[in-house]
A and B are shown apart, each in its own frame.
Chain A
Amino acid sequence: MAGLSIENVTKRFGETEVLKGVSLDIADGEFVSLVGPSGCGKSTLLRIIAGLEDQSSGDICIGGQSVAGQRAADRNLSMVFQSYALYPHLSVGENIAVPLRMRRLNSLQRLPLVGRLLPGARAQSRDIGQQVAQAAEMLEIAHLLDRKPGQLSGGQRQRVALGRALVREPAAFLLDEPLSNLDAKLRVQTRAEIAELHRRLAATFVYVTHDQVEAMTMSDRIAVMMGGRILQCAPPDVVYDDPDRIEVAEFIGSPKINILPVEIAEDGRLILMDRPLDLMLHRGGKGIASLGLRPEALRLAGPEAPIHGHVMHRENLGSELFVQIALTGLDQRLTLRVGPEQRGALALGSAVSLDFDRDKALLFDSAGARLRQVVQTASAPSEVA
């Protein structure tokens, strides 16, 4: 077990720069997710950590030691692939045993038939067999050890791939979208199992995914990547409640955050659709900005509320209801989350007024950076000054 640190890593494929100086420290035993849209460089970063790809510049340290120039095989990391990448010609047991056999037995001992007769090989093989059985036990695949990967379901293959990764107690586990080939139900179940496995092994996990739900539910910290950079790396609730940039706010959270254009008046007061709000930006100066409102920050309110529109579409999930509202005076829709008790008030086409929790409103400047110096004023004046 060991921590990882990534120091200013860049990667160029020909002309295109895939990673533009990524730095990240991962503590021993931490579960960090790299999350971002496809093409953001997260898989490339994982492959660079693994040693499957060389960085153009920068350094990777595992347990404080630089691994520059080390082969993937010598880095003592294990990896779970999206396609599971099991050896099709080997049984499940043999698949799980491969990393141990490659490391513990020398090349003569690995020879078929003859190898078993060499001194030490028998004891080693017994040892390996025991560890394979243990790993299989932990993942509840002990009854599958003699099958070939071709005879297994997706979920079972996924467990075998996990077994092959954890059988040899590596410095860290690298997981490259391991759940994306599973069906939705199995994905939810396996998500919990992987998180549990992480707690039980207390090992370092680096988990790559494009699914922000996976990242939110499993990780200690989430590193949101976009365009070859890490935009923010923080615990899930911080990334959700207190994003540094508008891209992060938009990527994390489902349904997506509502972004409304606001004006900043000379004195720093925010103006939404020509209505002044009771929010002030400390630093004054005219300009435009974006107001981010999560669906749960919005609530139904009386006609004096700042936002008006009518119901366009409803998605009833049983425990909650998501309502899309077309705004009056703005070619945009908002998503509102309400509890089931308010279902009746929201018939299709009905007019609604919305207010929002001031402390949950997120303000971003025109370049997308977060503006944090927002304070609530006593009350909104009736007229624009």
Chain B
Amino acid sequence: MTRDWWKHLILILGVIIVIAPFYMMVSYSFKSPGEIDRGEGGFFGRQELMVDEHCVKLRDPSRDEIAAAAPRFPGQSDRDIRDQIMAEAEADCAMRPVVFNYTKAFTEAPLLRYLLNGVLVTASIFLLQVVVALPAAYALAKLRFWGREAVFGLVLFCLLIPVHAIALPLYILLAKIGLTNTYAALVVPWSISVFGIFLMRQFFMTVPDDLIDAARMDGMGEFAIVWRVMLPTAIPALLAFAIFSVVAHWNDYFWPRIVVTGNRDLFTPPLGLREFKGGGDGSDFGPMMATATVIVTPLIVAFLLAQKRFIEGITLNGMK
């Protein structure tokens, strides 16, 4: 401990740097706009009642409404009636900042719909990636065929291509087939993951050949071997890959922003964040951070649940 203090110091510094933005995000999602602007209130804010100006403004009564409300306030002038209605409105619109931020997150934009889109898109991407990567990785690891090394070389080469370099041609391609603004546009370009093929191939290399030969003797075809023998033994590696894939596509802002132009029903959670981008009267940081918190929570929960298997998968030991 005494000798290793500097290691811990460095690690703690690293943790602080990583955690700080999350801390800000969660903290802002609790605070009122005033507290955020002034930078006060600690982590939770003071949680004093605040009035939602927007809510109050919406209830500013028109002349007809004042007339309709007149019986409730006998013998008062229109101005007094309006003042009283406004006072009621202010009382109704007063709420704790945390409630305000989170209700706003779910009401301002259809966040649930975005979350559902996110689940649909990431799940489809992951499933397709597995369907492609497992047979490919099996062939590259265990089958002997002419040009195998060259194909594997191509896989490695494709790992080096940054997404952004091919985004434009891909977009043009999708636009020409008329697939922009569809789920397909969000999913199809990611259905082949060279990283997935590479990762699973490395894992399959550790599976003993005897196991595959035994499966052949038992009457399995090559595809049966992939799904009935390789898939179950590869669960830890697959979980590791799942985390990479799901995190990347759940958090992806770049690609959905390109192919989803206008149709808000297709927005993924990160696109939803844009709804709170400041207009004329500044940004709604509270609700924005509340939305961000809601978006990252599923990933953090999933990671905590799968943590042990995830680390197993990274260390890549299939058969002991």
Contact = CB atoms under 8 A, between A and B. Distances in A.
Given A81-B213, A81-B214, A87 B219 contact: no
Query: In this complex, which of A71, A77, A81 has the most chain B Cβ atoms within 10 angstroms of its Cβ?
Result: A81
B213 A98 contact: no
Interface of A: 47, 50-52, 71-73, 77-79, 81-90, 98-99, 102-103, 150, 164
B246 to A, nearest CB: 23
B217 A77 contact: yes
Given A50-B217, A79-B214, A85 B208 contact: yes
B191 interface: no
A47 B215 CA distance: 14
Contact of A89 (B210, B214, B233): B233
Given A99-B218, A99-B219, A102-B224, A89 B232 contact: yes
12 contacts: A52-B213, A52-B216, A72-B213, A73-B219, A78-B218, A82-B210, A83-B211, A85-B211, A85-B214, A99-B217, A150-B320, A164-B218
A83 B217 contact: no
A26 B163 CA distance: 61
A83 to B, nearest CB: 5
B319 interface: yes
Contacts, number: 62
Interface in B166-211: 208, 210-211
A87 B217 CA distance: 13
B221 to A, nearest CB: 7
Contacts of B221: 73
A73 B217 CA distance: 5
Given A89-B232, A89-B233, A83 B218 contact: no
A373 B217 CA distance: 48
Contacts of A98: 215, 218
Given A81-B210, A82-B210, A102-B224, A87 B229 contact: yes
Contacts of A90: 232
Contacts of B235: 89
Given A73-B218, A81-B210, A102-B224, 13 more contacts: A52-B216, A77-B217, A79-B213, A79-B214, A79-B217, A81-B213, A87-B215, A88-B232, A89-B233, A98-B215, A150-B320, A164-B214, A164-B218
Most buried by B among A47, A52, A82, A84: A52
Contacts of B208: 83, 85
A334 to B, nearest CB: 42
B310 to A, nearest CB: 19
A81 B220 CA distance: 17
B77 to A, nearest CB: 73
Range of interface residues on B (Cβ < 8 Å): 10 to 19
B216 A88 contact: no
A164 to B, nearest CB: 7
Contacts of B216: 51-52, 71-73
A157 B217 CA distance: 18
Contacts of A84: 210
Query: What 8 A-B pairs have minimum CB-CB distances, sorted nearest first?
Result: A102-B219, A85-B214, A89-B232, A85-B210, A99-B218, A73-B219, A81-B210, A72-B216
Nearest to A51: B216
Nearest to A75: B217
Which one of A51, A79, A164 has the highest number of Cβ atoms from chain B below 10 Å of its Cβ? Answer: A79
A78 B233 CA distance: 23
Contacts of B320: 150
Most buried by A among B208, B210, B218, B233: B218
Contact of A88 (B215, B220, B319): B319
B213 A73 contact: no
A83 B221 CA distance: 21
A52 B217 CA distance: 8
B213 A88 contact: no
A83 B208 CA distance: 9
Nearest to A53: B213
A174 to B, nearest CB: 8
B231 to A, nearest CB: 9
Contacts of A51: 216
A154 to B, nearest CB: 14
Contacts of A164: 214, 218
Nearest to A99: B218
A88 B233 contact: yes
A95 to B, nearest CB: 9
B213 A87 contact: no
Interface centre among B216, B221, B319 (most CB of A within 10 A): B216
